[in-house]
A and B are shown apart, each in its own frame.
Chain A
């Protein structure tokens, strides 16, 4: 076991997969000499050279498209979005080409591609650098979408994403890069399509992902003090959603609160809520609750920013209200 920070866990995953498979390479802004904006590829260019850690010009749509072309012709590119928000400039290549091209081509080409990088609301980074983008991409057919949340799952999931033969959108969170875990010294892989049971419980299912997993854990003490026993599930896979794990939990607790950093309108929670109502309506003792961030551009001011995203006391409060039928 070795204590490892999340950015280093991601670096280890990249390093191990690049060593294992010569067709794996990283491209993006400042991934080479500079080592990545969050140091995920630090010094890897010294080991693998400048072609395998390809510093690109600031041309998101084009270098993402290049990655699609390289993937179609047999390589396994990893695109690092310096900030995932910048990939809005690559929306066309991600949607039309990474996501849809295999289908449109009738199976002629596969696109083993990872698009990863920092997302989410950081600390007063301003609206454009504090995006909640996962829902924007959620409807794109052919994409897998994953959000890592610990150093442990970051490493195992990234390795799985690199080995997957499909385009995987891999969300990291700017405020989680310094989380630390004891990582096994042996190799391990985490499945891309399985939710993670963070804390088993009987009373209410908290469905969450990315940084909000940690907000749920912060709310845990208060929830327990209130006398409730919540089950916390980290979705991990935002697409496809692991409805098997969710159904199992809902059949036990009959209560669901979704805690997401995503905006409420058209968010991941909206989809999740609809799926649960469609598939598990009879299991529910109350309507599904969505705790989402506000439908506004993330404000710069620290207090306003605090009020934009879901905070641990709100989670405890929602559990209290739901369980005491006050909602």
Chain B
């Protein structure tokens, strides 16, 4: 992802665009190691999705495959603020990269896309249903907004263990990702209400990429500034530049600390953009070229790479080495997926019930 002449100023921003919130001040400070972890996670997400497109067009995977390109700063900035041994992540159908950030190995995610037994959902789930109990990934929900209540239930579970069962260590935080389109669904409002009412340790992250398939966000909602909807529930709501991983990461750390301390939920609205069509089946003809260009110019990975080098946290060569390492991980994942067995038809009925 390292390229020369990276543009980080956004002065040519189109007029009609919503103005971006200022960077949080102060920004969280990161060490070199942390910076490289964040960079690697974003590159992993990007390369993984690019490989998915290639494999899809080569007929290796099927169904609706929704790629995450462009939104990496959100997944990485949020999930890397969590405790991977404790906290939960819940996603949508655009879930590959959330799964990767949560620690599900690329092999398992790719194998799932190939429908293989070694996939994280044993080939039963597919692109839109990534699950991993081991990595505390609660799914993978194909219906818009249906994951919001489930994630809210996981957050309720933390509170229940702490307060009803007396376990002082039960302070797991749940992060719930969904889109701008989902924020117009009743489950969003119902759950915000309950989460605020009961002060649940949850972070609702709306990835506002301006579009719900072909429905422009501004045409779908009376109040486009989604973060403001938190206020009527007496909940903290913040907006953040979703192309700026450090900004996202900073707010995520605050929200995690708030949740962990029992001070309740946060609604984070990350302003972002998907660099590809809605799914690999979408020709992406509706979105204006100008709009796309403006957002491409704000590529979150290039921006962060520039920041790392400007601040002398990493050299070009170090970043290049990470790119190469990730490329190898992806190649390995494809080989693994390709050579893995299909599920055995004799196990068609397995996993219907808990005893199976």
Bound CA–CA A14/B155 (angstroms): 24
B342 to chain A, nearest CB (A): 13
Expressed in whole angstroms, the Cα–Cα distance for A110 and B354 within the complex equals: 6
Q: A22-B164, A106-B119, A109-B133 are in contact. Are A65 and B150 (CB under 8 A)?
A: yes
Q: Any chain B CB within 8 A of the CB of A178? A: no
Residues of A within 8 Å of B353, CB to CB, are: 102, 142, 165-166
> In the complex the two chains form, is A57's CB within 8 Å of B193's CB?
yes
> Does the CB pair A65–B149 fall under 8 Å?
yes
CB <8 Å contact, A62 and B149: yes
Contacting residues, chain B, for A102 (C-beta < 8 A):
351-354
Inside 8 A of A92's CB, which chain B residues have their CB?
Answer: 143, 146
Map CB proximity to A onto B96-136 as digits: 1 under 8 Å, 0 otherwise. Answer: 00000000000000000000000111111100010111000
Q: Judging by beta carbons under 8 Å apart, are A106 and B143 in contact?
A: no
| B264 proximal to A (CB < 8 A) | no
What's the Cα separation between A26 and B132 when bound, in Å?
27
When distances are taken between beta carbons in the complex, the residues of chain B under 8 Å from A59 are 186, 190, 193-194
B75-113, CB < 8 A from A: 88, 90
Contact with B along A104-143 (1 / 0, CB 8 A): 1111111110000000000000000000000000000110
Whether A107 and B157, one on each chain, are in contact in the complex, defined by CB atoms closer than 8 angstroms, is no
Does A105 lie within 8 Å of B186, measured CB to CB? no
Which of A66-74, A196-204, A262-270, A288-296 is the interface stretch?
A66-74
Q: Which A residues are in CB contact (< 8 Å) with B187? A: 61-62, 65
Give chain A nearest CB distance to B179 CB in angstroms: 17
A249–B145 Cα distance when bound, in Å, is 47
Report B150-169 residues with CB < 8 Å from chain A CB: 150-157, 159-160, 163-165
Contact B120 A69 (CB under 8 A): no
Is the CB of B138 closer than 8 A to any CB of chain A? yes
Q: Do residues A106 and B131 form an inter-chain contact, with CB atoms below 8 A?
A: yes
Mark out the residues of chain A between 8 and 29 whose CB falls within 8 Å of any chain B CB in the assembled complex. 22-23, 25
CA–CA, A64 and B193, complex, Å: 15
The residue in chain B whose Cβ has the minimal distance to the Cβ of A77 is B153
Instruction: Tell yes or no: A219 within 8 A of B by CB.
Output: no
A74 to B160, CA, bound (A): 11
Nearest CB in chain B: distance from A171 CB, A = 19
CB distance from A251 to the nearest CB of B (A): 27
CB-CB under 8 A from B1, the residues of chain A are none
B150 near A72 with CB under 8 A, answer yes
- Contacts A23-B165, A93-B146; A104 near B152 (Cβ below 8 A): no
Kindly state whether residue A56 has any CB partner on chain B within 8 Å: yes
Chain B interfacial residues counted at CB < 8 A: 49
Closest residue on chain B to residue A112 by CB atoms: B354
Q: Which residues of A contact B146 (CB under 8 A)?
A: 65, 92-93, 96-97
**B residues near A25, Cβ cutoff 8 Å:** 160, 164
Closest to A90 in B: B149
A38 neighbours in B (Cβ, 8 Å): none
| Bound-complex Cα distance A57 to B152 (A) | 14
Complex CA–CA separation, A155 to B154 (angstroms): 29
Asked if A103 meets B153 with Cβ closer than 8 Å, knowing A61-B187, A92-B143, the reply is no
| CA gap between A93 and B140 in the complex, in Å | 14
Docked-complex contact A107 and B350, CB < 8 angstroms:
yes
Q: Is the CB of B153 within 8 A of A68?
A: yes
Distance (Å) between the CB of A120 and the closest chain B CB? 27
Output the residue of B121, B154, B165 with the most chain A CB within 10 A: B154
Contacts of B155 in A (CB 8 A): 69
Contacts of B164 in A (CB 8 A): 22, 25, 48-49, 51-52
Cβ of A65 and Cβ of B352 under 8 Å apart? no
Whether the Cβ atoms of B131 and A68 lie closer than 8 Å is: no
Cβ–Cβ < 8 Å partners of B122 in chain A: 106-107
Q: Is residue A75 contacting chain B, with contact meaning CB distance below 8 A?
A: yes
Instruction: Please report which residues of chain B, range 287-326, place their CB below 8 angstroms from some CB of chain A when the two chains form the complex.
Output: none
A64 to B164, CA, bound (A): 20
Closest CB-CB distance, A326 to chain B, in whole Å?
A: 43
Residue ID in chain A nearest B123 by CB atoms: A106
Given contacts A61-B149, A93-B149, A97-B150, contact A75 B355 (CB under 8 A): no
Given contacts A102-B353, A104-B131, A141-B352, contact A70 B157 (CB under 8 A): yes
Assess whether B139 is interfacial by the CB under 8 Å rule: yes
Closest to A165 in B: B354
**Is B246 engaged at the interface, CB distance under 8 Å to the other chain?**
no
When C-beta atoms are compared, the residue in chain A nearest to B176 turns out to be A69
Check: B356 CB closer than 8 A to any chain A CB: yes
Interface flag for B327 (CB, 8 Å): no
Contacts of B190 in A (CB 8 A): 57, 59, 61-63
- In the bound complex, CA of A166 to CA of B355 (Å): 9
CA gap between A165 and B352 in the complex, in Å: 12
A48–B163 Cα distance when bound, in Å, is 12
Q: A106-B351, A107-B356 are in contact. List 20 more A-B contacts (CB 8 A).
A: A22-B164, A25-B160, A25-B164, A52-B160, A56-B194, A57-B193, A57-B197, A61-B187, A61-B190, A66-B150, A66-B194, A70-B153, A73-B157, A74-B157, A105-B124, A105-B139, A107-B351, A108-B132, A141-B352, A142-B353
A-B contact list, 19 entries, CB within 8 Å: A23-B165, A25-B164, A57-B190, A61-B149, A63-B149, A65-B146, A65-B149, A65-B153, A71-B153, A77-B153, A101-B139, A102-B352, A103-B351, A105-B140, A105-B351, A107-B122, A107-B351, A107-B356, A110-B354
- B residues sitting closer than 8 Å to A (CB atoms) are 88, 90, 119-125, 129, 131-133, 138-143, 146, 148-157, 159-160, 163-165, 186-187, 190-191, 193-194, 197, 350-356
